[in-house]
Amino acid sequence: MIKYGVTEIQTKPSLIKSMKIGEIVDKRKHITLGYFISAKYEDIIRPIIDKIDKEEKRAKLKRLKAHQDLEFAEIGVDDGV
């Protein structure tokens, strides 16, 4: 995957037209800001991204539910004492 710097894109806006898939990075801070995917490939990649998002949300909800279950269990124990 080709990496594109923010300043490169700012100085050459026409670069976006030639990009297909690329990683947008801030070279000064050495961080990845995101990814660019051409609309031409979005139909192929969108279902995969949606599936990953759903799995991440499910995992977060399971952790939250487990945490809440522990809190309620602790409250129940405290009330009975």
Residue 29 confidence (pLDDT) above 80: yes
- Tens digits of per-residue pLDDT, 33-78? 988 888 888 888 889 889 999 999 999 988 888 877 766 666 655 5
The closest alpha carbon to 20, from 6, 34, 5, 1, belongs to 1
- Tens digits of per-residue pLDDT, 33-43? 988 888 888 88
Largest CA distance in the chain: 70
In degrees and rounded to multiples of 5, residue 2 shows phi and psi of -85, 135
- Element spanning 38, H or E: none
62 CB neighbour count, 10 Å cutoff: 10
Quote the pTM value. 0.50
pLDDT of residue 65: 84
